Amino acid sequence: MELTINYTTKQFERLPENLEVLIAMELPEKKKGIAVALNNRIIPQSFWAETFLNNKDSILIITATQGG
């Protein structure tokens, strides 16, 4: 099974249970300042736990950074 995460295809034996689990896997130390789009649709953080993933989904993860 595969997901495209930030334009890079990743293979999984089993897809993560939901979007919340995937974000925890991809950014284990980051809790705030994250925006996520699933198949070009922004998913609010309050819906991550109930947003299930399917084979070939495309996820874009954007994180806020400090600086100028």
Flag whether pLDDT at 54 surpasses 90.
yes
Please give the model's pTM, rounded to 2 decimal places.
0.88
pLDDT on residue 68: 58
**Chain segment 1-52, per-residue pLDDT in tens:** 999 999 999 999 999 999 999 999 999 888 889 999 999 999 999 999 999 9
Cα(3)–Cα(33) distance, rounded to whole angstroms?
Answer: 22
The answer to whether the CB of 52 falls within 8 A of the CB of 15 is: no
| Nearest-angstrom CA–CA distance, 49 and 20 | 5
Best CA proximity match to 20, nearest among 58, 56, 51, 55:
51
pLDDT at residue 22, rounded to an integer = 96
How does DSSP classify residue 39? T
Is the Cα torsion angle 46, 61, 55, 2 positive or negative in sign?
A: negative
